């Protein structure tokens, strides 16, 4: 029998990406949060066994079921082998160590509902306030999304050693703080959910405007962020107005993905995007999420940003965009979030409702903010405004300054191309 090794590898990659987080979550409940790394090891061993056996015997009819079965019994073997060596705090572990309760317990913990609930518990465990924000994101990507350490390091422009240290610190903190594998309730839920949503939003933003790697958009990061938010939204005890607002924002932004790059993989701004390529079904879905979010009479950063995105998605043409409405939303947003990035984006909108000169005057007031010193969009946005204001020389100087920043090759190419374009008008 001839086996297509590449096809098998692709199928394993697919199973790994979509099932890894589910299995790690279930096994973390089984072993306890102090043994998260053990849960990951068991899943990785199951995947390696699949790679070995499927390469020689072909892919089974039910590859997901095969992986689950192998992972289940690897876990049971570990529990029985190490019952006197390692402490397993969970009640599940106790039931799996008895031949009388083994099968019914396995059947119960691997139901679709239990798996979904365990993923939700895993999200809240990874995003516990005792774990630092950067470690929360890294741990979430590793345990729930199946990202490797090299992938996480590449996504966040750091070394593999640094990511590994973050993961070690996070697991150690979870173990020492004896963080329970549960979804918080009462007043604690709102606070913890805020941290979870912030982590998901950071994950999405890194994909939407990738700071590293050869791709300017990391689609897989955006997909994982939306998937995690949907897990939260699907649970009636946890879902909130903010969850749906964040889902609306991510879905509406994702709807424009197909038009954000030209045939040479260069980023296109809204003005130059082909709106016929926008995903109308995703826009419809995003607007549904936004309607649900606004019914709760809450206003958050996610609500406002989602509404801004909705304005863009529903405008038939760039020229017909409701810039006045968007400016009013930014005026509301800066009451909640007066970050430099929000002020920068507001200046761009101001150039549409007023003049580029007016926008530059606003940027002048915040030019000394340290956050802008190495922030590429500040230089490129300001250069564009100066160009629109017929100050070509200043625009080129700003783009040359941008080239001095630690910018990856593809972005440098885009900046260089823009300099040539501006120079023709000098």
Res 213: pLDDT: 45
The per-residue b/e assignment along 62-72, b for 16 or more CB within 10 angstroms, e otherwise, is ebeebbbebbb
5: which 2 tokens? 């090794």
Say what the pLDDT of residue 271 is. 85
User: According to the model, what pLDDT value does residue 276 have?
Assistant: 92
- C-alpha 68/C-alpha 59 separation (Å) is 14
Strand partners, 261: 267
Give me the pLDDT at residue 102, please: 53
Q: Each residue of 378-403: pLDDT tens digit? A: 999 999 999 999 999 999 999 999 99
Q: Output the CA torsion sign for 315, 320, 321, 325.
A: negative
For 215-221, what is the mean pLDDT? Answer: 65
Mean predicted confidence (pLDDT) in 369-386: 88
Q: What is the pLDDT of residues 320-357, one digit of tens each?
A: 999 999 999 999 999 998 888 889 999 999 999 999 99
pLDDT(272) > 60:
yes
Dump pLDDT digits (tens) for 5-15.
Answer: 667 777 777 77
* DSSP conformation class of 251: H
Residue 340 near residue 372, CB atoms below 8 Å: yes
Please tell me the distance from the alpha carbon of residue 75 to that of residue 215, in angstroms, as a whole number: 38
pLDDT class of 104 with cuts at 50, 70, 90? low
The alpha helices in 110-148, defined as continuous H runs, are: 112-126, 133-143
Question: What is the distance between the alpha carbons of residues 317 and 56, in angstroms, rounded to a whole number?
Answer: 55
298 phi/psi in degrees, rounded to 5: -115, 150
- Tell me the pLDDT band of 84, cut-offs 50, 70 and 90: very low
What is the predicted pLDDT for the residue at 117? 87
Q: What average pLDDT is seen over the chain? A: 84
**Rounded Cα distance, 319 and 333, in Å:** 23
CA distances from 198 to 113, 120, 231, 340 (A): 25, 15, 15, 18
Question: 212 pLDDT exceeds 50?
Answer: no
In degrees, to the nearest 5, what angle opens at C-alpha 357 toward C-alphas 354 and 363? 100
Q: Which long-range contacts (CB under 8 A, 24 or more apart) does 392-395 make?
A: 392/422, 392/423, 392/425, 392/426, 393/426, 395/422
CA 296 → CA 23, 84, 245, 300, 408, distances in Å? 34, 52, 10, 11, 42
Highest mean pLDDT, choosing among 133-142, 331-340, 353-362 = 353-362
pLDDT at 58 over 70: yes
Give the three-state DSSP class for 267: strand
Q: Two tokens at 265?
A: 């993989």
Three-class SS state of 33: helix
pLDDT of residue 235: 87
How far apart, in whole angstroms, are the C-alpha atoms of residue 201 and residue 144? 15
Q: Please compute the mean of the pLDDT values over residues 267-290 and round it to a whole number.
A: 91
Q: Tell me how crowded residue 14 is: count the other CB atoms within 10 A of its CB.
A: 12
Q: What is the pLDDT of residue 243?
A: 95
Task: Look at residue 302 and tell me whether its pLDDT is greater than 90.
Answer: yes
How many CB atoms neighbour CB 104 within 10 A?
10
What are the residue boundaries of the structural domains of the chain, listed by start?
1-110, 127-239
Q: How far, in Å, CA of 381 to CA of 402, rounded? A: 11
Per-residue pLDDT, 395: 95
Sign of torsion, CA 211 216 218 222? positive
| pTM score, whole prediction | 0.80
User: Given this model, what pLDDT does residue 211 score?
Assistant: 47
């Amino acid at each position: 029998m001839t086996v297509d090794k590449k096809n098998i590898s692709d199928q394993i990659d697919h199973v790994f990406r979509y099932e890894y987080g589910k299995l790690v979550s279930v096994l973390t409940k089984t072993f306890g949060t102090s043994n998260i790394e053990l849960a990951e090891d068991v899943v990785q061993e199951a995947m390696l066994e699949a790679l070995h056996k499927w390469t020689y015997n072909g892919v089974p009819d039910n590859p997901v079921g095969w992986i689950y079965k192998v992972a289940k019994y690897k876990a049971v073997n570990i529990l029985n082998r190490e019952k006197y060596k390692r402490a397993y705090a969970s009640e599940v572990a106790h039931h799996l160590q008895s031949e009388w309760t083994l099968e019914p317990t396995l059947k119960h913990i691997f139901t679709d509902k239990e798996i979904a609930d365990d993923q939700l518990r895993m999200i809240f465990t990874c995003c516990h306030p005792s774990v630092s924000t950067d470690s929360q994101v890294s741990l979430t990507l590793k345990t729930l999304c199946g990202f490797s350490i090299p992938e996480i390091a590449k996504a966040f422009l750091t070394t593999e050693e640094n990511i590994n240290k973050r993961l070690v610190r996070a697991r150690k903190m979870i173990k020492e703080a004896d963080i329970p594998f549960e979804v918080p309730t009462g007043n604690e839920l709102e606070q913890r959910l805020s941290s979870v949503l912030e982590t998901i939003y950071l994950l999405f933003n890194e994909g939407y405007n990738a700071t590293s790697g050869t791709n300017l958009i990391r689609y897989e990061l955006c997909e994982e962020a939306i998937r995690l938010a949907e897990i939260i939204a699907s649970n009636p005890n946890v879902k909130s107005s903010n969850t749906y607002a964040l889902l609306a924002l991510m879905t509406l932004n994702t709807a424009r993905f197909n038009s954000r790059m030209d045939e040479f993989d260069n980023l296109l701004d809204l003005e130059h995007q082909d709106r016929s390529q926008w995903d109308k079904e995703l826009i419809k879905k995003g607007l549904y999420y936004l309607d649900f979010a606004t019914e709760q009479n809450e206003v958050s950063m996610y609500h406002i940003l989602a509404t801004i995105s909705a304005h863009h998605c529903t405008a038939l043409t760039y020229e017909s965009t409701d810039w006045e409405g968007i400016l009013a939303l930014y005026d509301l947003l800066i009451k909640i979030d007066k970050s430099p990035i929000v002020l920068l984006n507001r200046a761009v909108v101001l150039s549409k409702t007023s003049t580029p000169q007016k926008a530059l005057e606003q940027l002048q007031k915040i030019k000394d903010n340290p956050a802008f010193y190495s922030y590429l969009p500040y230089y490129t946005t300001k250069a564009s405004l100066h160009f629109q204001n017929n100050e070509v020389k200043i625009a080129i100087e700003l783009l040359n300054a941008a080239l001095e920043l630690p910018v990856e090759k593809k972005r440098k190419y885009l900046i260089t191309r823009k300099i040539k374009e501006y120079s023709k008008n000098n």
